[in-house]
Structure 1
């Protein structure tokens, strides 16, 4: 009898362990799903940030370009700003072309 009781206790413990394993696997799957959701949300927010930065950048350019320069110094500042912006765009285009070629 003692052997049968010992085997029964082992089986009960095994069943308990299997139940705990299933619970942990279910929790793990849920956590993975939550992680994917959070990662997608972070990507969406990052894209929104990039778009807003681009809009801000364009708004700054439009503000500078909208008003006629009041002085030669402001005209020179405008030209420098435009040169910087154009150079940035050229660098970005070159980087895109390099990525396409590789």
Structure 2
């Protein structure tokens, strides 16, 4: 009977240990999710800034006329993309 009680206590102790580990891992997981969300926000902010700077560079290059053939084609492609996006928005507004 004492052997059974010893085994039962060992199982109970192990269960308590596992529950504590689970709680620690849950907290760590929550912290990692928070950190990931913050990192994603930083990346998004930086991508937006890069986009803004690229647009400013395009404006400066257009205004000074310093575009080579490749840059001009890339700029035309981006402008076409903007126009398609605007047309799509207008069609959604008119629907």
Same fold per superposition (TM over 0.5): yes
* 1:58 corresponds to 2:51: no
1:37 matched residue in structure 2: 38
Equivalent residue number for residue 24 of structure 1: 25
Number of equivalences: 86
Aligned Cα root-mean-square deviation (Å): 2.8
Give the corresponding residue for 1:67: none
Deviation readout 1:45-102 (Å, 9 max, x if unpaired)? 11001100110011011212xxxxxxxxxxxxxxx99xx59x6364453243245456
Distance 1:59 1:96 in 2: 27
TM-score in terms of structure 1 length: 0.69
Runs of 5+ unmatched residues, structure 1:
65-79
Gaps of 5+ in 2: 66-71
1:93 aligns with 2:86: yes
TM-score by length of structure 2 reads 0.73
Larger Rg: 1
